[in-house]
Chain A
């Protein structure tokens, strides 16, 4: 909202002054006074007189009336007509689409100035002609913007939902589509108004717009040009006014667009750097030991901690599953270990020892050598993790070549290894030609290209069908058995954990609440959250039980036990934060766990 104030104020002042021009104590803008021509300053005319001795300030203000009236009127006409045509064309398709879009294309074929010249020549110069010409010129822009927005909006579920309710077409267009395409249309309006002011000045400058002696900014620039040597300021004032007006209009429309969007400003996107695969492995058994890992993000509302005091370890040939709901911080923990945190986040405390190197403190070159070499990562979305413009073989080879020279047929051999049928042909394919399951296999092929000793897989099967998921999990299990690879598997699916995990760490609100061998934890869960999660899985004879409420936001963790607000067993004692206890090789963060385990 604060962004609206300044540009809004400037535009309001300009418009107000223009509107109130007849009431202001200004000299008549068309009365000539040749005696005082080109006077730089006179009492009563602060900006001086022009080449006919007319008052410059008065002409600027009266000129704003014609310039702005033309610009606003033309943009308004073009916006209303263009948006309507775009809406109809995008919604009804067929004939309406043809007329709107091809019509716009034909208009776009004419050079704008030429079209303006043509119309002005036919209709004669004047304000009405100018508005007509400019609205025709800006019409195609509005049609195309509205049309494109409608096409993408009409495929959205919320439009389908209103249609499924039986809403009449008019209601869908006005109540649902129009507000959703308003943002880009508003931006287009700001561009059109600014451009119209400029074009009006240009046409008036050429003598084709506003008819003299009626003042307009373009007229003034035109007049000032002849006397540029004697009185350069005459040129300056209309130019400055023009620039300030256009700048304020653009800023206002930008701020307006953001203010009208109820979602507010979009949060910054998570930055997922691509993993660079690297070097060959030394033979010693690898072990990742993470101690007290804490990640901080500085936000306008203060520092939040999406990962707090995380401790776990992975031994060679074993799988540690990190499980938790969305927002529990499990992916952030994996990124921290890989050194791939987004720029806004930083490691505040802790260590992650891998092969004698603390990953959290190692310099970037050392980490780069490890990433994709001894340590590899597989991400959730196989489509956005592959580069769409390169062939599969090139991307797999690239993964190897990041640190050693690949053998010619190595890419195909790797694709064969991850179970891709017809690997020689698939190697020449582009990512979009493969199914989701195959793309994930390619990602795994790239991750294992340099025989990593540790694989971090972040929701590797979440985007896949269950039958494909089963195949990918089998593949990962095979690779682990053969190469003695350790694996950190991040998932929200307890079923997947039960099938492939050796150890499990349950995360809730940035902390590990329970950790231990999968069999023991699932058979005898100690933490109420683990128990509630297990009961929520629709497996077995009982009906699944949900957990009331949702995961608290990272800026509003409860002061004591973070699960207490949703916990059926919470008592007054739970207002003190529980510490992580280690009992029989299992970690537990609950003050009352002994009472439940009895």
Chain B
């Protein structure tokens, strides 16, 4: 059953001009997402691709500029209303920066306990018990609830951030680059923890990452974003085995591989990503695509279903296969 359903959602940030109204920046354009309970969806893209904005839109932290967004069958209420606040208990977010995402001035027990205190009337003793339980659940010593964030390493802090997101018992969790700031030896621990939690708690998980390899073993499906639009979507295995969009191919080829046998010829993208306030007509990727033809400038290519559950937004997908 679909828990989070987004249809053609869009986010435009108003431009701020001093003398004249500046052009708005369209961070996310026409994105569809359907996420069921217990399902993990990876969102992959480079900086500026709109993946973090998409995560915040799906959580309702930012209002959508256009499109329909439903959570558990009901429309997402406007931010900071009573209904919106009540809905916070059912969703959680884990941030990228293990340093900036925790309040340095409050002990971790108090921060994890926030989610419990805000959404229910529980005694202090009951809250402490539940905080200890959450700490144990994310693999930390339950005795350390009184410690401050600076006493923990980056990986441990990320676990604290996960415990805080889980405190209110959410059904939907957005993890925004939760391992990008961590050493590779610690990354695997945190990714595995998220995978275990998703399985044990039946969470719908949106995992945002710039690294295709990280999502590979954690997610069921992947969404590849470029300049605010979805380029390709599909089951992880199929997408890795046969990337169909030229951008997905470039991204995969650029990802450094350990095993020489797995390496593919690098596709170096010429130029720079388009300015989000002035995107090219038609396909946003055409300015850097080696396969672009005149027709690519015509209209924005729709996400069309292909074999093996993949969908690709490229008019030349069939020719290039």
- Tell me the A residues contacting B by CB distance below 8 Å: 156-158, 160-169, 171, 175-176, 179-180, 182, 261-264, 325-326, 421, 435-438, 465-471, 473-474, 492-496, 498-499, 519, 522, 532-540, 543-548, 550-551
Contacts and interface: CB of A to CB of B under 8 A. Distances in A.
11 contacts: A157-B100, A160-B61, A160-B93, A167-B114, A175-B106, A263-B148, A474-B268, A537-B213, A539-B258, A544-B192, A550-B186
A164 B150 CA distance: 22
A467 B250 CA distance: 7
A166 B85 contact: yes
Closest A-B pairs by Cβ, 8 of them: A166-B88, A495-B256, A546-B189, A546-B188, A157-B101, A470-B254, A544-B188, A547-B185
A415 to B, nearest CB: 15
A474 B92 CA distance: 40
A535 B259 CA distance: 12
A369 to B, nearest CB: 36
Interface of B: 46-47, 59, 61, 80, 84-89, 91-93, 95-97, 100-106, 111, 114-115, 118-119, 148, 150, 153-156, 161, 164-165, 167-168, 183-192, 210-211, 213-214, 216-217, 250-251, 253-260, 262-263, 266, 268-273
* Most B CB within 10 A of own CB, among A163, A179, A467: A467
Nearest to B59: A164
Nearest to B215: A538
Given A165-B119, A538-B213, A544-B217, 16 more contacts: A156-B101, A157-B101, A161-B165, A164-B88, A165-B88, A180-B104, A180-B105, A325-B183, A325-B184, A421-B270, A436-B47, A493-B256, A537-B213, A537-B258, A538-B187, A547-B186
Contacts of A180: 103-105
A438 B273 CA distance: 12
Given A157-B95, A536-B185, A262 B105 contact: yes
Given A161-B101, A438-B272, A470 B266 contact: yes
Nearest to B150: A263
A222 B150 CA distance: 52
A548 B189 contact: yes
A112 to B, nearest CB: 32
A183 B115 CA distance: 26
B169 to A, nearest CB: 12
A450 B256 CA distance: 30
Contacts of A421: 270-272
Contacts of B156: 550
Contacts of A544: 187-188, 191-192, 217
B119 A495 contact: no
A470 B188 contact: no
Contacts of B118: 165-168, 171
Contacts of A435: 272-273
Nearest to A437: B272
B93 A161 contact: yes
A176 B46 contact: no
A438 B271 CA distance: 10
Nearest to B269: A467
Contact of B95 (A161, A437, A496, A534): A161
B93 A536 contact: no
B183 A538 contact: no
Nearest to A158: B103
A474 B268 CA distance: 9
Nearest to A522: B258
Contact of B187 (A168, A263, A326, A546): A546
Nearest to A263: B150
B91 to A, nearest CB: 7
Nearest to A324: B183
A343 B86 CA distance: 54
A496 B192 contact: no
A168 B119 CA distance: 10
A548 B183 CA distance: 12
Contacts of B192: 543-544, 546
